[in-house]
């Protein structure tokens, strides 16, 4: 069993519902599943689109990295994702990225772990560090929180502020 971290993202349709559905699907292949808060983030790369919702799930799986990629792609398709009709980095209901797979380093044409954009994306790092503040980058050995603190603001906000905060809005 390996500890795995997946990034969830989407900005088309009911993304929160898509997250709930995919988390239910992931519970069948993960033990000890934990889910971060949901964050709203400004679109990056292709900016002419709605804000994204992002979260991270963490759990233990007996699947190989390749088997997990196949399962993640099947869950995306079940949620209505059709990559052949998408603009690269454009709007989508659900995106599942394998951020970390234990300490594995994988560099294949369609599977790179850790995720190649991880160290530059606050929308992935914030929920990842929320779940496990002590995670380190398998490549450099540096704490992921150090990458997070070195990045400029990127327009990332909690989707649902704490109840305490709601008292003072």
Catalytic residue check, 81 = yes
Catalytic residue (one of 40, 93, 97, 119):
97
Q: Is 95 among the residues known to form the active site? A: yes
Q: Is 92 part of the annotated catalytic residue set?
A: yes
Q: Which residue among 40, 44, 48, 81 is the active-site one?
A: 81
Active-site choice (48, 83, 88, 92): 92
Is 110 one of the annotated active-site residues of the chain? no
Of the residues 40, 93, 95, 121, only one is catalytic, namely 95
In the numeric block, which tokens belong to residue 73? 């792609």
Known catalytic residues?
81, 92, 95, 97
């Amino acid at each position: 069993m390996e500890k795995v971290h997946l990034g969830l993202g989407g900005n088309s349709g009911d993304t929160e519902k898509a997250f709930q559905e995919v988390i239910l699907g992931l519970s069948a292949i993960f033990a000890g599943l934990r889910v971060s808060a949901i964050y709203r983030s400004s679109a990056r790369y292709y900016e002419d689109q709605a804000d994204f919702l992002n979260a991270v799930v963490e759990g233990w799986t007996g699947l190989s990295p390749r088997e997990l990629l196949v399962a993640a792609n099947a869950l995306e398709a079940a949620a209505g994702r059709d990559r052949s009709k998408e603009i690269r980095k454009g709007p989508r209901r659900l995106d599942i990225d394998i951020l970390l797979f234990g300490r594995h380093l994988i560099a294949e044409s369609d599977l790179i772990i850790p995720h190649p954009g991880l160290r530059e994306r606050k929308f992935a790092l914030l929920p990842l560090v929320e779940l496990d503040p002590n995670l380190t980058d398998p490549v450099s050995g540096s704490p992921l929180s150090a990458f997070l603190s070195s990045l400029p603001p990127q327009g990332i906000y909690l989707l649902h502020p704490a109840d305490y905060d709601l008292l003072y809005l």
